[in-house]
DNA sequence: CTATATTATTTCACATCTGAAACAATAGAG
DNA sequence: CTCTATTGTTTCAGATGTGAAATAATATAG
């Protein structure tokens, strides 16, 4: 109890620490296969399901704000992984995967398959469920005020 | 089963998503109280336990590489939260909290107390244990190769 | 003691993120 | 139709992170 208490107090730091490690690990592996970053991999993955979506939908989909997406997509466009195109509504622009984008997406998928598997190694099914519950709750509990 | 399977495949993205939300939330709250960032809060916290440690110990303690710490400590020094001092070994430098650093650390501690509590809201004790196990495993499983 | 290796920190180039402000274009009120 | 509000994207300044290379100082081999 006392121990659990102590650990609870550090939960956020523990979470951060784990995130740092996982991100480095993921980037290391992606660098060796597809050569893209974790952020770019998220874009490739999302676009596979929503090719041609607007920039802000992409932002929403990968959980970043619009200005982050502007830069990310610009760098990926330079790498010829995606392309921006006009839409009917002149304010927005749509993003599409290029052939190369689709190709790398497949490689990325393979990477994450084994990566995610490794993440649950050593955990029982109900422990994995608890983790997933925790992550989902974190996202909700702490959602943007009301607004 | 099939559902769990699907979720497993997205575990890393889910994790990332939760991290983004939590980090924004933490930064938002810290900004309103102590005014420091999450990274700076980690430094304040660590130094409270290891005041006067070397820069690389601090880097190790908060889980960042040395070059990140150089910048972080420099900015914090400019804010008068910490100060660098010479050590016996001329290669290294020690970092100390200033009075203001100690003061803010207390505020930060209070913030994290309620924040961490909020993180476990809605979870049973065994679910929290599973989460902690998962985080610790993530840090280990995925540790720097062998090297 | 000198040449070389190791260790600690910093610098550099650059990716990524954030919030706030600037722009651009459509929508809506009168 | 025109003025104003809203919406979508980009720009800007600045914090944070990474790995690689540069510096600086101690340690060690011969």
Q: Is the pLDDT of residue A43 over 80?
A: yes
User: Any CB–CB contact under 8 A between B143 and chain A?
Assistant: yes
- Which nucleotide C1' is nearest B66 CA? C9
Instruction: Read off the DSSP letter of residue B31.
Output: H
Question: What pLDDT sits at residue A99?
Answer: 98
Q: Which of residues 16-35 of A touch B (CB under 8 A)?
A: 16-23, 25-26
What is the block-wise mean pLDDT of chain B (147 residues), using blocks of 10 residues? 54 91 90 94 96 97 96 98 96 97 96 89 93 90 50
With bands split at pLDDT 50, 70 and 90, how would you rate the model's confidence at A9? low
B117: nearest Cα among A130, A132, A144, A10: A10
CATH number of the structural domain B24-122: 1.10.10.10
With bands split at pLDDT 50, 70 and 90, how would you rate the model's confidence at A114? confident
Q: Where exactly are the structural domains of chain A? A: 17-121
Please name the residue of chain B whose CA is at the shortest distance from the CA of residue A41: B13
Q: Please name the residues in contact with A99: beta carbons below 8 A apart, sequence gap of 6 or more.
A: none
Question: What pLDDT sits at residue B8?
Answer: 59
User: Any CB–CB contact under 8 A between B68 and chain A?
Assistant: no
Answer whether any strand C atom is within 7 A of the Cβ of B84. yes
In this complex, the residue with its CA at the shortest distance from the C1' of nucleotide D11 is A67
User: Any CB–CB contact under 8 A between A141 and chain B?
Assistant: yes
Mean pLDDT over each residue of chain A, to the nearest integer: 89
CB A81 within 8 A of CB A48: no
Question: What pLDDT sits at residue A140?
Answer: 79
Mutual orientation of helices B11-32 and A11-32 as an angle, nearest 10°? 130
CATH number of the structural domain A17-121: 1.10.10.10
- Which nucleotide C1' is nearest B67 CA? C10
Answer whether any strand C atom is within 7 A of the Cβ of B56. yes
């Amino acid at each position: 109890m006392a121990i659990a208490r102590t650990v609870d107090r550090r939960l956020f730091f523990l979470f951060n620490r784990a995130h740092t490690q996982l991100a480095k690990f993921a980037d290391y592996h992606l660098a060796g296969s597809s050569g893209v970053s974790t952020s770019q991999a998220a874009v490739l993955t999302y676009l596979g399901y929503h090719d041609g979506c607007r920039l802000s939908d992409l932002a929403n989909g990968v959980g970043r704000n619009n200005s982050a997406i502007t830069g990310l997509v610009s760098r990926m466009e330079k790498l010829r992984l995606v392309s921006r195109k006009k839409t009917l509504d002149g304010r927005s622009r749509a993003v599409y995967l290029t052939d190369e984008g689709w190709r790398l997406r497949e490689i990325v998928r393979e990477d994450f398959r084994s990566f995610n598997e490794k993440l649950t190694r050593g955990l029982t099914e109900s422990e994995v469920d608890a983790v997933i519950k925790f992550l989902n709750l974190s996202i909700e509990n702490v959602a943007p005020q009301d607004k």
